[in-house]
Structure 1
Amino acid sequence: MRWALNLMSLLWFQFLAFLFVSGVAQFANISQPVSVQTAELGDSVTIECQINSSMKTRVWYRVTTGRKLQLVAKINKKGTILFGSQFNQYNKLYSVKLDGVRTYLHIFYATRGDIGTYYCGVAYADFIDFGSGTFLQLKGILPAQNTIKAFTSYNTKMKVSVVQQPESESVQPGDSVTLSCSVHTGGGEHTSVLWLKSSESSGSRIIYNSGNQSESCERTESGSPETSCVYKLPKQNLSSDDAGTYYCVVASCGETLFGNGTKLYIKGKTLKLKIHKAVSLGILCNH
């Protein structure tokens, strides 16, 4: 059964990669005019997004400082708004408004827990096309998970942590570099790992799918279900086209966890980054 799940996951990611590379996927024109929005604790906040697309299904997602991707709300083809489990409409703290090509996410009373980056997007059958994101910061308040070690992501529900190294790398054209991603699992979770590259010129795209194969895995203690695996992405004969931010992405049991990213600078090229496209990821969980 495990090999079948691994095969399904691999085929799924390869199909998504095909959509991106082949150009079959026609992306929407999505604009989030404000990249950083600052408010006071308790303020009312409205985040704007402009979407020019024939697709009717709209979504709002939030990425927290711990790099957990959370569904805020989904607007289906009929205009019905469905909120994610952590953003239940009955708590009266969030609302979504559609006005032509514009969609607005409204937070009635901003709290520390609202700090994060909000992405609007268009949902297709097999992927989601995202805007560039709006980071919401509250004056005088640090993000709730700011104590997390640099370039480390952790998800308590998944019991998975992701560490990317190095944080940034600057190389000459023609050089080689190896990016590293350490994935620590706390309970023997079945995980699949892939790499995403994000740049202004090409958006975000899957560049390598590791499946559940890694360079090395070891148990932290004898008899313990906890394991630590290292995934490596070698890049050779680098050119200006390789500049961007590389994300190690872990999918496990229906959850997706992003590493904090490694910025790759090619000397002689100015690096401008926008995470303006992403894919929806999913994986079956063994019980």
Structure 2
Amino acid sequence: MKVFCSKSVIIHILFERFFYYYFCFGFSNFMFSGSNLTSSLAPSSSGLSFEAVNVGQDVTLKCSYQENSAIGAYWYKQSPGRKPQLMSESLKHARNGSMKSPFKNDPRFELDTGVGKNNLKISNVQTSDSAIYYCVSGHSFQFHFLEGITVQVKDLALIFQTSVYQSELETIHPGDSAMLNCTVHTGICDGEHRVYWLKDSDESNPRIIYAQGNGRTQCEMKPNRQTHTCVYNLPLENLNASHAGTYYCTVASCGHILFGNGTKLDYKENLDPPVLLYVLTGTLAFVIVLMGLLAFISHKLYKMQKCNREGDSVDAGNLHYATVSEKNVIRSRTPSEASDVCTYSTLQP
């Protein structure tokens, strides 16, 4: 099981991408519903950041903007699986910013505003504060995302008692069906669960392909135990090459996001029977030819070695020696000078 804080960068990118586009759509409808005004939304130029804090700590989310062109600045909170909530607004001609309901009744939330400054301070953070916080500035009818900050509040007691399990690998073939399983052992948290299935492949970036609402109906509840077991399934039908990839089960509960290790679907093509027969026949023919060639070469080498051994072996009993004496008379001025030359020959039948 991989918890949110141990994969903070990956999960941060995945959920920022999903919730960012959802937020753009919802924010535009919220601000201009029932009007003929046109609007445009610009993404953050400063990028996205991540803050991990423990329960009970304080955190300050900083945001700056160009006051001379902005009509105001706003903070939005988006909890996992929820719509964005307007937290505060700081208008250009107002002396101080103000928190919006339900945050204005919670003393833990404070605004620190000034010239080009719109900071949000959260005191004594709780697990429910885990969310994505957006700082947005308004320029006429154009809105800019200045900051996108993911705040993850860690509760050690909850983290170590919660886990997500997935099978590692499954092999699929064309037209098959598959059922991906995700088992969640919940901790002491009694909040509802929201389950997301994400797919990551070589052809596309990680994306959410399926979301479930309250998943508690799939949990085995035991009154005498603090932990419960929940099983979530993702059915896949009529599989093809586009289904190959790694599927992650992600559970959002009580301000925490739990990430499974992922199940990899390995796609294998089915060979038609005639094609398979041709392949096997060709392979068999090649093996037979190769074996015949090796046998021929081995036989030739054996005959050559045999001939060499027969030529080198000599039977000493069948050898006969004879001495041939040839007298060569060399005539010279000195009559007494003569030379005898002896030649030995070997005879073999």
**Shared fold, TM over 0.5:** no
More strand by share: 1
Per chain length, whose mean CA-contact separation is higher, i.e. which structure has more relative contact order (CA < 8 Å, sep 6+)?
A: 1
Q: TM range, normalised to the smaller chain? A: 0.3 to 0.5
**TM-score normalised by the chain length of structure 1:** 0.42
The structure number with the bigger radius of gyration is: 2
